[in-house]
Chains A and B, each alone.
Chain A
């Protein structure tokens, strides 16, 4: 009996119970309110539906809380009790071994197919199911009591003057607040874990060496000087912005000021398709098309320079993957970010400003150059900053087309590596969480996070501070 209870699909059951208790409570509340409406002579403060919602709230919320508690603690509770009851021979197992043993017990319990396994395992599995059944039964009983109590208490409070509407509104506000809170808590959790692991790393490697060292060799030797990575990231983002800033900005100006509505109608979606292309596709485009082309061009430059006697040996590195290839393609990738945001802010410049310039006898290009763009400048700068933070955080293109050698080189045809490339290569393959090699990835992630956060914050501040108030 207990074992069968242990196999209940509690997830579905809890969701169903929330629905059942909620709707039952709603009808009870509503029916009671309608009766009040009939028996009372004056007006009800709230309409019957709100009384229904109110009772439903008091019934469904306890169910949800119990369900949440169950989801968080049930497994842990069962395991703790089970571990206590295990035979003494298990004490020889290490914590990790015990965990994986219990995990396989859980799996076996879920499928109810422990036949063929040894007797101890079967016994443990059965006990696990029994314990789980106890927890499940306890949860259901608790849930039933709380939900009925809530329902009973809430429907007792109903009377004509009861302000159900206001209370339901407050309840809604609370629900929305909790949802926002979940997002914030998740973000905080990610940041905290990033911080925690980074601190572990900085206990092993000094932060100063990490930030200013020029030798990066995390895979083979323990050399953690991240400067070449910062340089590579900066270099590639710079190349990307040299491509994206003018093209994106000018296409935004064309779209908002010059294009006819018809042309705008098909050019803008095409630009937005560019934003929808998966970055991995850009990545192999960079690797297979752009990088070889750049290499060929660089080799040609080298040969020509030598033939002309301008140089005695090759001036460009002409490597098969290069910063230039990754930067150019990344630039194309961020064009839509620049153009779409700039287009929005340029469109937000009020028509009256353009009229004012035209009425003074300014030509179209004078108006754009001297009035529209300056008025939209804060927004355009913000768009560029957001594009930069996007370029810095971009991973796939650089993984495929930028290379893996950590070096500081101004030659754009040499391969460089970036923060994101190194994080990927540190976190893939065999990793252990106490290894400085793995921990260094967290430190890199933290740096990346701080830099992009700073860019975004500055961008938002710029927009806020310098936005002209055009009511």
Chain B
């Protein structure tokens, strides 16, 4: 697991918390991402523990979203984007040529910055994933999956009487919870969230944060956020990205109360970013 040898000092700081971990859900080794000639991620190695929330923070353009999108190979859909390095899930490198990104994405769900429900009914939004993966045996089974997913996303009570209404008729916060329910419905192991609250008001944000806290008991969650308070509230571990490097990675408490790196301290105290 020792990747810090001979590389930048940044990586030395990573060895400590990583050694303390039990079984990481995802283990990233020497990830480099290029957009054409430009390198967006420089040799990042980090792990994500199961049943915990890891927050990726950092200023705009620091590569945290790009890094997040490596974890379910969403970068494949971007032309001229190239990913190098190993990302291990259950001992398999998901960047291997023989890994089907379609199957991978059914194990790694994703929630996006802006709520993006399909132009379908609420029911069909949730049922979409189970249908394409054949997870349900018959209508009743599907109904059960839809109900369970909506309940877990804390949306069931609000929409149970209008499952046939279009998903886009919900409010922004409800739409985002719908998208979370949609991601949960395919029974993923990991949920990636790319600034899930940046388009929401404080009340809807609070609902989503509560939800993330509940979901932590079942999933490995990785969340990209611009709000340091949010990272402090919802995550157990935090990684601070800057200019494509991980500057510091550690327990959220430690990062926010006692950062080891000067740059981390400057960022979280608002001196730059």
Contacts of A469 on B, CB cut-off 8 Å?
168
Q: Is the CB of B72 within 8 A of A359?
A: yes
CA distance A374 to B112 in the complex (A): 21
Looking at A359, A370, A374, A468, the one whose CB has the most chain B CB atoms below 10 A away is A359
Q: Is the CB of B120 within 8 A of A374?
A: yes
Partner of B129, one of A261, A355, A360, A468: A360
Q: Is the CB of A355 within 8 A of B116?
A: yes
Judged by a CB distance under 8 angstroms, whether A99 is at the interface is no
CA distance A375 to B113 in the complex (A): 20
Q: Is the CB of B103 within 8 A of A361?
A: yes
B219 to chain A, nearest CB (A): 15
Stretch at the interface among B90-98, B179-187, B226-234: B179-187
B185 to chain A, nearest CB (A): 8
Q: Is the CB of B116 within 8 A of A360?
A: no
Cβ contacts A335-375/B at 8 Å (1 or 0 each): 00000000000000010111111111111001000110011
Q: Is the CB of B112 within 8 A of A360?
A: no
Judged by a CB distance under 8 angstroms, whether B114 is at the interface is yes
User: Which A420-471 residues have a C-beta within 8 angstroms of B?
Assistant: 468-469
Q: Is the CB of A358 within 8 A of B168?
A: no
A361-B102, A361-B129, A363-B102 as given contacts; A356 in contact with B186, CB under 8 Å: no
User: Which B86-134 residues have a C-beta within 8 angstroms of A?
Assistant: 102-106, 109-110, 112-114, 116-120, 128-129, 132-133
Cβ contacts B169-205/A at 8 Å (1 or 0 each): 0000000000100110010000000000000000000
Looking at B103, B104, B106, the one whose CB has the most chain A CB atoms below 10 A away is B106
- Closest A residue by C-beta to B199: A471
Judged by a CB distance under 8 angstroms, whether B77 is at the interface is yes
Contacts of A360 on B, CB cut-off 8 Å?
105-106, 109, 128-129, 132, 182-183, 186
CA distance A358 to B78 in the complex (A): 12
CA distance A358 to B109 in the complex (A): 10
CA distance A180 to B54 in the complex (A): 60
- Closest A residue by C-beta to B124: A370
User: Which A258-290 residues have a C-beta within 8 angstroms of B?
Assistant: 261
B193 to chain A, nearest CB (A): 11
Q: Is the CB of A366 within 8 A of B114?
A: no
B92 to chain A, nearest CB (A): 16
Q: Is the CB of A468 within 8 A of B119?
A: yes
User: Which A34-61 residues have a C-beta within 8 angstroms of B?
Assistant: none
Q: Is the CB of B132 within 8 A of A361?
A: yes
- Closest B residue by C-beta to A359: B110
Q: Is the CB of A359 within 8 A of B105?
A: yes
Q: Is the CB of A350 within 8 A of B105?
A: no
Partner of A361, one of B117, B133, B168: B133
Contacts of B105 on A, CB cut-off 8 Å?
358-361
Contacts of A359 on B, CB cut-off 8 Å?
72, 74, 105, 109-110, 112, 183
Q: Is the CB of A352 within 8 A of B133?
A: no
A58 to chain B, nearest CB (A): 52
- Closest B residue by C-beta to A467: B119
- Closest A residue by C-beta to B116: A352
CA distance A375 to B74 in the complex (A): 21
Task: Number of A interface residues at 8 Å Cβ cutoff, please give it.
Answer: 21
- Closest B residue by C-beta to A358: B77
B262 to chain A, nearest CB (A): 36
A350-B116, A354-B77 as given contacts; A468 in contact with B168, CB under 8 Å: yes
Q: Is the CB of B118 within 8 A of A375?
A: yes
CA distance A363 to B113 in the complex (A): 22
Contacts of B114 on A, CB cut-off 8 Å?
352
Partner of A358, one of B74, B79, B128: B74
Partner of B112, one of A355, A361, A363, A370: A355
Contacts of B77 on A, CB cut-off 8 Å?
354-355, 358
- Closest B residue by C-beta to A354: B77
Q: Is the CB of B168 within 8 A of A352?
A: no
CA distance A358 to B132 in the complex (A): 11
A372 to chain B, nearest CB (A): 10
Partner of B102, one of A350, A353, A356, A362: A362
B195 to chain A, nearest CB (A): 12
Contacts of B118 on A, CB cut-off 8 Å?
353, 356-357, 370-371, 374-375
Q: Is the CB of B119 within 8 A of A375?
A: yes
- Closest A residue by C-beta to B110: A359
Cβ contacts B147-179/A at 8 Å (1 or 0 each): 000000000000000000000100000000001
Contacts of B133 on A, CB cut-off 8 Å?
361
A350-B116, A361-B133 as given contacts; A356 in contact with B168, CB under 8 Å: no
B64 to chain A, nearest CB (A): 17
- Closest B residue by C-beta to A471: B114
A407 to chain B, nearest CB (A): 45
Contacts of A355 on B, CB cut-off 8 Å?
74, 77, 110, 112, 116
- Closest B residue by C-beta to A356: B116
B47 to chain A, nearest CB (A): 22
Looking at B79, B119, B182, B183, the one whose CB has the most chain A CB atoms below 10 A away is B119
Cβ contacts B61-97/A at 8 Å (1 or 0 each): 0000000000010100101000000000000000000
CA distance A375 to B166 in the complex (A): 12
Cβ contacts A366-404/B at 8 Å (1 or 0 each): 100011001100000000000000000000000000000
A376 to chain B, nearest CB (A): 9
Contacts of B79 on A, CB cut-off 8 Å?
261
CA distance A414 to B132 in the complex (A): 47
A355-B74, A355-B112, A358-B77 as given contacts; A374 in contact with B183, CB under 8 Å: no
Contacts of A352 on B, CB cut-off 8 Å?
112-114, 116
Subset of 27 A-B contacts with CB under 8 Å: A350-B116, A352-B114, A354-B77, A355-B116, A356-B179, A358-B74, A358-B105, A359-B72, A359-B74, A360-B106, A360-B128, A360-B129, A360-B132, A360-B183, A361-B104, A361-B129, A361-B186, A362-B102, A362-B128, A362-B129, A370-B128, A370-B132, A374-B119, A374-B120, A375-B118, A375-B119, A468-B168
Taking A358-B77, A360-B132, A361-B103 as known contacts, 7 extra A-B pairs with beta carbons closer than 8 A to each other, sorted by chain A number, are A355-B74, A356-B112, A356-B182, A359-B72, A361-B186, A362-B129, A374-B118
Would you list the 8 A-B pairs with minimal beta carbon distance, nearest first? A361-B106, A359-B110, A361-B105, A352-B116, A360-B129, A375-B119, A356-B116, A361-B102
